[in-house]
A and B are shown apart, each in its own frame.
Chain A
């Protein structure tokens, strides 16, 4: 899953990036509102963490423009302003959730998981397709009731496919979900991870649509 962080504070942005990476997300970080607006208009993300007080363009304005483009991307607002009015304004601008600084990294990741889950149409915390069960919070996967040991990238890949169950995801789309900018992606990386997943879980779990991409049904 790929998350965009928009935060102008160097130390805080660095911490959120590191924390989300620990949870297996691909994380991109921009430090000003105008750049965030550009990136959100052109790149696909699964969720965004948006600070309100930003240089050049405020977080609320970024949000307003995003919703103006009819984008349904889940957005979590991050701010130091905590009056009821501030929260109402933030939510009314199109935010899906709201977190006041200082916050708990665990809570931030949990809220992001909930946002992504709801956005994908799932209501329960566990994703389940056939005999495969995925617990995004605990980073655990099981097949036919038995735990399966997956690497962070394998887990993220399976998570992405299961979130979009029934839809084909291209290799490029999967790469975008798995890797942040600047991260080196080997040309056959996705194929290798798919191969591992098939071996660890079931050869029939992930179907290949040749020349198009992969899907889970």
Chain B
């Protein structure tokens, strides 16, 4: 199983790596810096030693019995010197010095390799130019010294790293506590608890998260509430036609004369038609929930309107309502033709349902200041101002509505308008007083 990335582990790794890296860099820098400094200092020592040797040798050479100088310090093994008389005869040398000249030069610093060992040599003549003095030091000593200094710097790190790890672990834990608290709070929530989280005590980094979560809770809450209301409303709306069907059927069964029985059976069938219409509208609305405005294609509104009107005309004529499509130029908009058809059908169907027999339902396709419009006008009773606001709510039917409808038509129209970025507006019609429903689209096809 893949282990989940842990924030705490991640921060710890990063911090420790950074510390390690910085420390190592410091050690390396120290190593090179120390070596350079050491070179300077030790070169100076070599020069000084040679000066001393020259001074001593010139005065006391005769008195020196032995050709060996005593060992004085652990490092002295790595320091050698030779005193050559006239540059040819080795008069005095340290125990570790070879019999051959240490330096090839006769003056100044040089590097020499003798028996596979690297030496740093300083050579000088005495004042009388009778004695050539080589003072040499193993280069190895210098490197070892620099390495020692650098590794001394690194040594505490092995103790410090675990300590730092523990401290960082503890500090990160403390720093992440508000996050852990938040996690626990959310974990322990009941699934239906959508109360906002307390954002007052959270640190600045976490506050946006909490605020976003709270906004999400509000949105989810209102969505759930909407769904719940919709389900309740839908059930309520379906119950009435079903109650009517059942009651009509029972009345038909108990009827004693044929006329009454046929009347009730007709009622039951009408109830079925209404329930079917309601269910179809509900399904349309449910399907529209998930539709998005991608894959728009050019739709010719005038042509589309003519087709829908032709489809509905027989039903309109049955009710004694005339349909009329106003002349106008073709307007082409980017849209979803199937949805626009549903929209037009609902608009015209609504108008036919609510207008009076013998009147006309007019449809107009136009382009007002570059904004394509569809307007449907009827000569029905129209709506009061306060009802104009409520009318596109789901299942809302104005009081006293004689026409049977689902109360969903305008909700469907409104949703399709929304998908197309169009605006739905209702106003009083031109006569008796009538209702005019206008859908304004944002733009035509460019």
Contacts and interface: CB of A to CB of B under 8 A. Distances in A.
Contacts of A32: 399-400
Interface residues of B, number: 32
A105 B251 contact: yes
A19 B399 contact: no
B399 A55 contact: yes
Contacts of A9: 240-241, 244
Nearest to A17: B251
Contact of A81 (B236, B251, B274, B404): B236
Nearest to B399: A55
A16 B236 CA distance: 18
B239 A102 contact: yes
A19 B243 contact: no
Contacts of A56: 399-400
B202 to A, nearest CB: 38
B404 A19 contact: no
B399 A22 contact: no
Interface centre among A55, A80, A104 (most CB of B within 10 A): A80
7 contacts: A53-B236, A55-B400, A80-B239, A81-B236, A100-B239, A101-B242, A105-B250
B347 to A, nearest CB: 24
B233 to A, nearest CB: 10
Interface of A: 9-12, 14-16, 18-19, 22, 32, 53, 55-56, 80-81, 100-106
Contacts of B271: 11
A4 to B, nearest CB: 17
Given A55-B401, A56-B400, A104-B250, A12 B255 contact: no
User: Which of A12, A104, A105 gathers most chain B CB within 10 Å?
Assistant: A12
Interface in B355-381: none
A55 B402 CA distance: 11
Contacts of B402: 10
Nearest to B403: A10
B400 A11 contact: no
Contacts of A22: 251, 254-256
B248 A11 contact: yes
Given A56-B400, A103-B243, A106-B250, A11 B235 contact: no
Given A11-B241, A22-B251, A32-B400, 17 more contacts: A10-B404, A11-B248, A15-B251, A15-B264, A18-B248, A18-B251, A18-B255, A18-B260, A19-B250, A80-B236, A80-B237, A80-B240, A102-B242, A102-B246, A105-B247, A105-B251, A106-B250
B270 interface: yes
B267 interface: yes
Contacts, number: 83
A207 to B, nearest CB: 33
A18 B240 contact: no
B41 to A, nearest CB: 96
B229 interface: no
Contacts of B247: 12, 15-16, 19, 102-103, 105
Contacts of B274: 11
Contacts of A101: 239-240, 242-243
Interface string B185-228: 00000000000000000000000000000000000000000000
B253 to A, nearest CB: 9
Contacts of B251: 15, 18-19, 22, 105
Q: Which 3 A-B pairs have the closest CB atoms?
A: A55-B399, A15-B247, A101-B243
Contacts of A100: 239
B263 interface: yes
A104 B400 contact: no
Nearest to B269: A11
A60 B100 CA distance: 127
Contacts of B237: 80
Interface in B164-201: none
B243 to A, nearest CB: 4
Contact of B240 (A12, A14, A106): A12
Interface in B260-277: 260, 263-264, 267, 270-271, 274
B400 A19 contact: no
B270 A11 contact: yes
B257 to A, nearest CB: 11
